[in-house]
Amino acid sequence: MRTAPTILHLDMDAFYASAEQAAKPSLRGKAVVVGGLGPRGVVATASYEARVFGVHSAMPMAQARRLAPNAAYLVPRFGLYREISEHVMSLLHRLSPLVEPLSLDEAFVDLEAGGTGWDEASARATGERLRADIKALTGLTGSVGLAASKMLAKIASEQAKPDGLVLIRPGTERALLGPMSVRVLPGVGPATGDHLRRAGITTVEEIAEAGVDELVRLLGKAHGTALYAMAMAQDERPVVAERDAKSVSVEDTYDVDIHDRVRIRLEVQRLADRCVQRLRGAGRSGRTVVLKVRRYDFSTLTRSETLRGPTDDPAVVREAAGRLLEAVDTTGGVRLLGVGVSGLADFTQEDLFAQAAGDRSEEAEHEEAAQQLKGEEPAPAERHWLAGRDVRHAEYGAGWVQGSGLGRVTVRFETPGSPPGRVRTFRTDDPDLESAEPLPLVPNAGGQAPEPGTGPDGGEADGRGGGSGKAEDGRGRVRQGEQTGVPADREDGGEHTVGGDSTDGGACTREEDGVHGADGGGVVALGADRCGGREYDGSGGREYDRGVGGERREPAGPDRAPDSQADPAGEGAGSGCESRRVGPAGGESQVSSESARRPKSRSGGRAAAPGSETSRP
């Protein structure tokens, strides 16, 4: 063990959600949940405002909607997260050559190896400077833990959350760990924790009192010995800069179980191609192809086949995955499919026969598809706008998708450096609207973030997020306050069909690097006939219109088009907001609604444990 706290652990605070709040001024200070928006979606990250309601990572999205129905639900933008992560990791590499990334937002750093920390004072100064540099470069906050070992440094960073620094002095580790739960130790999950609890062991101090022999009897020699050493605050693991990947894989979870054998085969081929793309992107090849199938009853089957040599050829991987699929019974349907490659190498030894067979089968598939499409006009591809994605309009500038459905897409025009912007609704096929790359969270030195577009009436956002819906341009264009996502008190657990043609929560995709939603959006443009202002409950074609307070209303006239401000966090309907509708005779009808106040979020850090020091801005 070291005699100085020179191992640093950095963990960004609610990374995905904080990045979305920094990029979208209208979401700052509000509950934000990032993850798959489908009925089988999973929460990737929740902001601290959402955690007040009990939402946390890895929670089913339908449960999160029930706990926080007014939160903003967005799909992940991994391109933006990776870009921010690269900036953060570059700061860490300036501190030391020994940086061990654990994920996009978490890493260990050996300060002693870089000469930036040799005692308590220098380590603390380096940690504080790192936090300030991250804030200046990315606009986000991170928590820092300093200790003499990796295990203790990670525990310290957990205590420092959010936006703090905790240093554990050498010699105080046993007193710090003693009263903590056994779950704080690495390698103790739910199963091991329950096993220890049944044996009467619930704290780290009780592990130390039980002794190594008792732990070996309970958990086995390897696990028991390692767990006893950690309970005694003994962790000799070094910070490793390079970690070799052992496998590459991709998998998808589907909203509805797949029963069609042909479609299952096509999905496996698509996953095999994606897996090979990632394999080639890493400059590797693999020898063993693995197929993962989770059936309708949650039973999971894994099959593997080892080739004669490493390969990175998609045809070879497709063919091997297809052979593995033939041995799996999918009669009852499947909810998840995955394809992976292990036994990685830096060279390839191609299976020429399999490759040739794959080329022939692929050519036959192309010919068959060409014959089926012969003489038919190709159908135009429908554009899907996912909630939270970046867009740009030719007239109004940069913005992000707040919701979509019924052939309409609603966009809020704002940028990271602007005040909360206006909301406008367009057709999904509007030629002036196109996807865009994310804008930097912090403009370069001397630069200025572009201002969001303003409407033709010159109106400004009132910043209240109440979805007031006033007809300011004299054309009677009114829309109800909109929310991103759908309240989860529906019987279908979050799946909500809008207009019968699109859903606000599409296929959820789970990969190694996160959770994706294949379609997203919210309640869009309700109360206007021309915009399809009827909401279908998805259980038999029943349709109705919703007013501000949720009551059913008669649809507006046929010449209404939505254009107003709305609350992206979903507080427009039921937060004391007011909505005015221009009647057919030029009159004005008014509906107001109020709801109970939701509790304010608290994001205070945890109390410092004995033997540790906490600093917070």
| Both tokens assigned to 111 | 């300060």
Residue 548 has a CB neighbour count (10 Å cut-off) of: 26
Strand duo 32-35 + 72-74: pairing: parallel
Contact assessment for residue 538 and residue 496, using Cβ atoms and an 8 Å cutoff: yes
Are 432 and 394 in contact, with CB atoms under 8 Å apart? yes
Go through 220-239 and write b for each residue having 16 or more CB atoms within 10 A of its CB, e for each that does not.
eeeebebbbebbebebeeeb
Round to whole Å and give the CA distance between 552 and 358: 57
Active site residue 368: no
Q: Which residues contact 605 (CB under 8 A, 6 or more apart)?
A: 159, 160, 161, 162, 163, 164, 614, 616
C-alpha count within 13 angstroms, C-beta hemisphere, residue 600: 2
Q: How far apart are CA 595 and CA 576, in angstroms?
A: 6
How many Å apart are CA 321 and CA 310, to the nearest integer? 15
* Lookup result for tokens 């992000």: 400
Give the closest residue to 297 by CA, choosing from 258, 338, 332, 251: 332
> Would the CA dihedral through 89, 95, 97, 99 be positive or negative?
negative
Strand partners of residue 338: 251, 292
Q: From the candidates 20, 106, 482, 571, which is the catalytic residue?
A: 106
Class of residue 493 by CB neighbours under 10 A (exposed 0-12, middle 13-18, buried 19+): middle
C-alpha distances out from residue 210 to 125, 192, 214, 230, 316, Å: 39, 15, 6, 13, 53
Asked if residue 532 lies in contact with residue 415, where contact means CB atoms within 8 angstroms, the answer is no
Tokens of 96: 């030391």
Q: How far, rounded to the nearest angstrom, does the alpha carbon of residue 158 sit from its chain's CA centroid? A: 20
Calpha distance 482→568 (Å, rounded): 7
Q: What 8-state DSSP symbol labels residue 601?
A: P
Nearest CA to 582 out of 612, 609, 552, 561 is that of 561
Question: 25 with 173: CB under 8 angstroms?
Answer: no
Cα-based distances in Å from 67 to 53, 226, 416, 487, 574: 6, 39, 28, 10, 16
Distances (CA, A) of 417 to 443, 452, 540: 8, 9, 46
Number of C-beta neighbours around residue 437 at 10 A: 11
Helix (H, G, I), strand (E, B) or coil at 74: strand
Alpha helix segments (H runs only) across 163-203 = 173-177, 190-198
Q: How far is CA 355 from CA 317, 361, 363, 450, in A?
A: 9, 10, 12, 51
- Which alpha helices (DSSP H) does 164-313 contain, by range? 173-177, 190-198, 204-210, 212-219, 221-231, 261-281
- Residues with a catalytic annotation lie at 106
